[in-house]
């Protein structure tokens, strides 16, 4: 192999390693962990409830980007488009689901 080919392969390998690390950091368990800790601090510092889907989505975009989309796609049936009423219901369900996930993590780690 020529030096240029070796250098190109090394650059590709470095990029693949970076992508793998990024994928691990954005895994669902890491996203839920970030969310739970952020929500815990939010409620301890501000004590302002996050029950509105818009407020929760904004909070998540700030603290753990991608989690909202990952969970929403997991609970939404992709075979048929949602009506606006069903889309609103799914957004409200997301808020409940996120609070439940945070509680389960809290209960698992802090209530031993």
pLDDT at residue number 3: 84
Closest C-alpha to 109, from 2, 32, 51? 32
pLDDT at residue number 41: 92
- The reply to whether 84 falls in a domain is yes
How many residues does the structure list for the chain? 112
**C-alpha–C-alpha distance, residues 71 and 97, integer Å:** 9
**C-alpha–C-alpha distance, residues 111 and 17, integer Å:** 37
- The reply to whether 22 falls in a domain is no
- The reply to whether 70 falls in a domain is yes
pLDDT at residue number 58: 96
76 CA to centre of own chain:
16
- The reply to whether 17 falls in a domain is no
* Per-residue confidence in pLDDT tens, the chain, 112 aa: 678 888 888 888 888 777 666 656 668 888 999 999 999 999 999 888 999 999 999 999 999 999 999 898 888 877 778 889 988 999 999 999 999 999 988 766 555 5
For 33, 37, 49, 59, the CA distances from 67, given in Å and listed in that order, are: 11, 14, 19, 11
Q: Which domain holds residue 81?
A: 27-110
Token readout for 96 is: 């409940």
- The reply to whether 5 falls in a domain is no
- The reply to whether 77 falls in a domain is yes
> 3-state DSSP call for residue 1?
coil
- The reply to whether 95 falls in a domain is yes
- The reply to whether 72 falls in a domain is yes
Tally of CA atoms within 13 A in the half-sphere of 44 that contains its CB:
6
Q: How many domains does the chain have?
A: 1
């Amino acid at each position: 192999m020529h030096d240029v080919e070796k250098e190109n392969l090394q650059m590709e390998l470095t990029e693949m390693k970076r992508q793998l690390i990024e994928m691990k950091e954005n895994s669902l368990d890491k996203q839920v962990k970030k969310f739970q800790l952020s929500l815990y601090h939010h409620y301890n510092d501000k004590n302002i409830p996050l029950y509105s889907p818009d407020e929760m989505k904004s909070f998540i975009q700030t603290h753990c980007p991608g989690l909202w989309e990952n969970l929403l796609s997991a609970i939404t049936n992709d075979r048929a488009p949602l009506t606006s009423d069903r889309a609103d219901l799914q957004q409200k369900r997301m808020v409940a689901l996120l609070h439940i996930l945070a509680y389960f993590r809290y209960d698992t780690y802090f209530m031993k």
